[in-house]
Amino acid sequence: MIKQIAAIGALASLGLATSSHAEKPGTVRYHKLGPLQNGAFGSGYKDRSKGPDTWRVIGKTGGSDYIEKARERIALYRAAELTESAGRKYIKFIKTKSADLTTGLFYGTWSNGTEFKLDFQATDTPDPEFHCASDVLRSECKTIDAVAAKNEIRPFLDFGK
C-alpha cells in the first residue's frame, strides 16, 4: 500500500513538473525549448539558420499547454523576431508542416503534444497577390508583415519567467 501511494505521488509530481500552465487564460508560454522538452512535454520554440535570411522555426505545445493554434502562433512570433533581427519587413513562407507528438510512459503511449515546422525567408518584398498584413494564420498567406504578426499574436503568448 505504501509503495502504491509513493508511485501515485511520483506520477502526480511528474504531472506538476511537466505542466506549466500559462499565467493568463488562453495564453501559452513563449520561450526557447530546453534539451529535455522533447516529445509531448513542454511548449515553446526551437530555431536554426538554413542560410542567409532563411530559418526553420518549430513551435511546439505539449501537455496542459495545448491551445488551438498555439504552436503556429509560437512559430510565427519567433519568425517575426528573426525577420526583424535580420533588418527585414516580411516573412515569406517556404514550407510548413504540422505533426502530433507521442510520448511513452511505462507500457503505454499517449499523444497530447503538437508541433508546427515553418521554413521561411526574411524579405523586404511582399507577395503581390497573397500578402497578409492581418489575420496572419490564414492558409492563403504567402508573406506576412513581421510587425503586424507580432502585434496580433502577442496577446496569446505568456512571456513570464
- The mean pLDDT value for 35-63 works out to 84
Whether the predicted pLDDT of 128 surpasses 90? yes
Give the per-residue pLDDT at 155: 94
The pLDDT confidence band at residue 11, using thresholds 50, 70 and 90, is very low
Question: Hey, is 96 helix, strand or coil?
Answer: strand
C-alpha cell at 77: 512570433
**32: DSSP letter:** B
The pLDDT confidence band at residue 28, using thresholds 50, 70 and 90, is confident
Average pLDDT, the chain: 79
Residue of 150, 44, 130 lying closest to 89 (CA atoms): 150
Helix (H), strand (E) at residue 72: helix 70-85
C-alpha cell at 52: 542567409
Phi, psi at residue 154, to the nearest 5°? -45, -45
Of the ranges 5-9, 101-105, 140-144, which is most confident? 140-144
Q: pTM of the entire structure?
A: 0.78
